[in-house]
């Protein structure tokens, strides 16, 4: 088995992370050889760090899984994840940096001079952070389960414990070097196996995925069912089975599944022959949309494909700017100009990364269609190297991918936990005192860990989409209007945050809890951005107009500070370094 390699890969990533962090701290310098001004984090390095922290388990595992299961519609996810930074670049990056805010509540307070807005923004930051942590922990559980066979919730718990200890002991801070390293690790972990996968695929006479039909097993494939499942078979297929099928105990012998429904017992392994169509489970509605895999908007997603797509686009395009761990990174830039340059580089880096993702999705459709049966589509990226390449090479590449996945959730989880804990310590639980920042780490990660243990069947990328939706309906109006409209007032911001963010948060909670399983109501709640973003904007604008006399007295001065280059308003390190000095 590849367990040993996989565990070694994950351990190596954890060790390397700790090591880079420790070395970054150890670099001590004497006065003679450097100047502070030249040492501030250059935009490119900060961009690596932003990308490293941003590319989460949802990007690494989830998107490929969704493409495998639901087709090309899901490519909107990587597009949205990247395009969010375009919106950030155009409207937010530089002014946000110039505001001097470290977190989103800081921005709210700096712009509106209101403690109330600050407090509500804090609660929303914690909500978004928890929502975003949930799928990361799921990704962690999935990866560790594939490596060691431990139950899913256990992996989440392990990662939560590791991150808590590391953050609380001050070891794994969101150090720029560590996060930058994680980006390159993730890119490598996808790029190198991708090259080998493509070579193998060529050697396999470049089979094309069966675009419009149910996927076909390319090779003889064993499928293991841990829990009972009912399958619908459309044409008779001869399999070998170990375990229980239709109530009959089978012991590795051949067996014919006739057309119709079959009940597969727990702990059963079926081996399908090459060329057999993949039967699909009866439950898990969303996965059973095989006929339209390659056709966008063809009823692939519930019955409201167009609506869902717009929901996804709005949420990801506008939600990125409200992610707590992304915003915090921009503080590291010395000025607004550097913040913009960072964002441009981030766009390139994310683009490069997301080019690889659909490849894994399509290859997964081709070579790992059994994941549709078990519902583990998020595992596509992890199992492909072993499936296609096999042997020691496959195991090594598998270990590399596992290490990359580990980097993905470690970096995002630690960054998010830091941000959420910071906000918790500062605004939500001020009685703890500022020095007890580390205590706040516990609730910051315990809540999503607990939620992860109870919520079982939410695809990783979908859950991230929900976090984006909440962020898009609350912080996007706050940031865009706060930066570009001087008429925004504190009551308006409160109303917008509560109505937009609150309604999205409610919809998302209901979705995660499994409130509405199907029908138009489910679609409305699962893709709330389409209505909640306009609600947030409208509430902010209308209430602000109604309370026009409450525009903060300093609004004009604040706006000037947000939009004028630092050299004019003061703030940046403007210094004519002596041109002829040897530096």
Residues at the interface with other proteins (CB under 8 A): 25, 27-32, 35-37, 39-41, 100-103, 106, 109-110, 113, 170, 173-176, 331-334, 418, 421-422, 425-426, 433-435, 437, 450-451, 454-457, 509, 512-514, 553, 561, 566, 570-574, 578, 581
Name the token pair of 527. 């893709």
Q: What's the closest the beta carbon of residue 538 comes to other proteins, in angstroms?
A: 26
CB-nearer residue toward other proteins: 118 or 145? 118
C-beta of 86: minimal distance to other proteins in Å?
24
Q: 347 or 451, CB closer to other proteins?
A: 451
Q: Which of residues 9 and 501 has its CB atom nearest to other proteins in the complex?
A: 501
Backbone angles phi, psi at 503, to 5 degrees: -65, -40
Tell me phi and psi for residue 446, to 5 degrees: -65, -40
* Minimum distance of other proteins from residue 41's CB (angstroms): 5
Question: Among residues 25 and 392, whose Cβ is nearest to other proteins?
Answer: 25
Q: Compute the C-alpha angle 518/451/131, nearest 5°.
A: 75
Measured from the CB atom, the residue of 370 and 427 that comes closer to other proteins is 427
Output 98 or 277, the one with its CB closest to other proteins: 98
Contact 408, 416 (CB under 8 A): no
- Residue 91: helix, strand or coil by DSSP? helix
Task: Name the minimum Å distance from CB 381 to other proteins.
Answer: 26
Nearest distance, CB of residue 331 and other proteins, angstroms: 6
Least distance to other proteins, CB of residue 237, Å: 31
Cα 69 to its chain centre, rounded Å, is 18
Query: Nearest distance from residue 52's CB to other proteins, in Å?
Result: 14
For the CB of residue 85, give the shortest distance to other proteins in the complex, in Å: 20
Phi, psi torsion values for 84, nearest 5 degrees? -55, -35
Q: How far is CA 143 from CA 219, 258, 341, 457, in A?
A: 24, 35, 35, 16
Q: Per-residue b/e over 196-218, b at no fewer than 16 CB within 10 Å? A: bbeebbeeeeeeebbeeebbbbb
Burial 85-115 (b: 16+ CB within 10 A, else e): bebbbebbbbbbbbbebbbbbbbbbbbbebe
Answer for the pair 569, 517: CB distance below 8 angstroms, yes or no. Answer: no
Query: 123 or 144, CB closer to other proteins?
Result: 123
Residue 218's alpha-carbon distances to 99, 204, 287, 369, 375, in angstroms, are 56, 10, 20, 9, 19
Nearer to other proteins, 244 or 569 (CB): 569
Q: Are 335 and 99 in contact, with CB atoms under 8 Å apart?
A: no
């Amino acid at each position: 088995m590849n367990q040993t390699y996989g565990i070694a890969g994950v351990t190596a990533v954890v060790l390397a992370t700790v090591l880079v962090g420790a070395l970054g701290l150890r670099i001590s310098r004497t006065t003679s050889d450097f100047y502070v001004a030249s040492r501030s984090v250059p935009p490119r390095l900060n961009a690596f760090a932003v990308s490293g922290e941003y590319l989460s388990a949802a990007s690494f595992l989830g998107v490929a899984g969704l493409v495998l299961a639901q087709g090309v519609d899901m490519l909107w996810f990587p597009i949205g994840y990247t395009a969010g930074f375009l919106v950030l670049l155009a409207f937010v990056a530089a002014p946000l940096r110039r505001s001097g805010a470290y977190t989103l509540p800081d921005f709210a307070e700096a712009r509106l001079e209101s403690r109330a807005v600050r407090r509500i923004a804090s609660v929303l930051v914690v909500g978004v952070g928890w929502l975003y942590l949930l799928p990361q922990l799921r990704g962690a559980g999935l990866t560790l389960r594939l490596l060691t066979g431990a139950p899913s919730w256990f992996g989440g718990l392990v990662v939560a414990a590791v991150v808590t200890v590391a953050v609380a002991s001050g070891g794994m801070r969101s150090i720029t070097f560590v996060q930058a390293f994680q980006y390159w690790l993730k890119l490598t972990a996808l790029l190198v196996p991708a090259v080998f996968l493509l070579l193998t695929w060529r050697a396999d006479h470049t089979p094309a995925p069966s675009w419009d039909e149910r996927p076909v097993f390319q090779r003889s494939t064993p499928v293991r069912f841990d829990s009972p499942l009912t399958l619908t078979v459309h044409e008779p297929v001869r399999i070998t089975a170990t375990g229980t099928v239709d109530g009959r105990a089978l012991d590795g012998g051949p067996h014919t599944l006739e057309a119709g429904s079959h009940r597969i017992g727990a702990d059963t392994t079926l081996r399908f022959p090459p060329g057999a169509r993949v039967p699909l489970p009866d439950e898990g509605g969303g996965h059973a949309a095989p006929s339209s895999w390659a056709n966008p908007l063809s009823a692939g997603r519930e019955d409201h494909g167009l609506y869902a797509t717009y929901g996804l686009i709005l949420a990801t395009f506008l939600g990125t700017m409200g992610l707590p761990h992304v915003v915090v990174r921009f503080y590291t830039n010395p000025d607004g100009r550097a913040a913009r340059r960072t964002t441009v580089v981030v766009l390139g880096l994310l683009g490069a990364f997301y080019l690889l993702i659909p490849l894994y999705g399509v290859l997964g459709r081709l070579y790992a269609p059994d994941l549709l049966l078990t519902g583990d589509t998020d595992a596509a990226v992890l199992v492909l190297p072993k499936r296609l390449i096999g042997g020691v090479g496959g195991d090594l590449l598998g270990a590399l991918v596992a290490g990359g996945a580990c980097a993905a959730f470690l970096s995002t989880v630690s960054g998010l936990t830091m941000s959420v804990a910071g906000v918790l310590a500062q605004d939500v639980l001020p009685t703890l005192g500022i020095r007890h920042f580390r205590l706040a780490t516990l609730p910051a990660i315990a809540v999503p860990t607990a939620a992860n243990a109870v919520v079982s069947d939410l695809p990783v990328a979908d859950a991230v989409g929900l976090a984006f939706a909440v962020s898009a309906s609350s912080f996007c109006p706050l940031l865009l209007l706060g930066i570009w409209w001087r008429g925004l007032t504190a009551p308006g911001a409160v109303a917008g945050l509560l109505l937009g963010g609150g309604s999205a948060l409610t919809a998302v909670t209901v979705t995660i809890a499994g409130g509405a399983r199907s029908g138009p109501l489910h679609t409305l709640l699962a893709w709330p951005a389409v209505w909640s973003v306009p609600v947030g904007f409208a509430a902010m604008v209308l209430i602000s107009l109604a309370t026009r006399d409450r525009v903060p007295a300093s609004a004009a001065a604040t706006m000037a500070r947000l939009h004028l280059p630092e050299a004019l308003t003061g703030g940046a390190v403007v210094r004519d370094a002596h041109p002829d000095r040897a530096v």
